[in-house]
Amino acid sequence: MGPRRTPFGISNLLAPLGLHASLGLLAPLMVLAAAVAGWAQEPVFHVGRAPTAEEIKAWDISVGPTGTELPPGKGTARDGAPLYAQKCVACHGAKGEGGSAPALVGGRDTLTTIHPLKTVGSYWPFATTVWDYINRAMPRGQPQSLLPDQVYALTALLLYWNDIIREGDVMDADSLPKVTMPNRDTFVPPDLKDINRLRCRIGTCP
């Protein structure tokens, strides 16, 4: 008869170490294994609480290039002028030329020079991004305090000052995404899977 074979198990793992799988050794290992399995199946941290639907909605304020997330509302550059004078002029200058905060106007055709001026009019690729940034971060010290109509009006004003729209053009959820920014074609497409199709290279899309 050949040598008797034993099933492979804990004893086989411990044998090279000169140990024997006694009940006293196996019991703690089994308890530890059961605890680890339980933790992996159902992690419970007992910290905080699940956010409510209202809280999630309040945080979910991003507006993409297509403008799908834009809320109802409207505004023109004329509507935005007095609001800019009240909320923005102290930091950005009387006409968006800059001050303690960056310039918002000008810089067209400077991006390829040794002194590029990156503003809303010269650099930003999507008009909806202007709305998104004003809505989430402005005015300084009071972010997310503006109403949608006010954000549309300020966005329209900056587009008008950069010679992108007319003073009386109404910006809303339908018209704003249709605005073509001067620097749009030097950015990669909003959907990155289109990069190869458009043969974009180093941020330049033909």
Residue tagged 């050949």 (tokens) = 2
Given this model, what pLDDT does residue 185 score?
A: 84
Domain contains 37? no
Residue 30 belongs to some domain of the structure: no
Q: What is the dihedral of CA 83, 87, 89, 95, to 10 degrees?
A: -30
Give pLDDT, residue 186: 85
pLDDT averaged over 10-residue windows placed end to end, the chain, 206 residues: 48 45 53 57 79 87 93 98 97 96 95 95 96 96 96 98 98 97 83 61 53
Task: Tell whether 206 is covered by a domain.
Answer: no
pTM: 0.71
In a domain, 42, yes or no: no
Do the domain assignments include residue 27? no
At residue 146, the pLDDT reads 98
Full residue range of the structural domain in which residue 92 is found: 65-198
Asked if the structure places residue 58 within a domain, the reply is no
Give the CATH number, domain containing residue 170. Answer: 1.10.760.10
The pair phi, psi for residue 94, each rounded to 5°, is: -60, -35
Residue 96 lies in a domain: yes
Q: Which amino acid is at 70?
A: L
Count structural domains, the chain: 1
Query: Residue 14 falls within a domain, yes or no?
Result: no
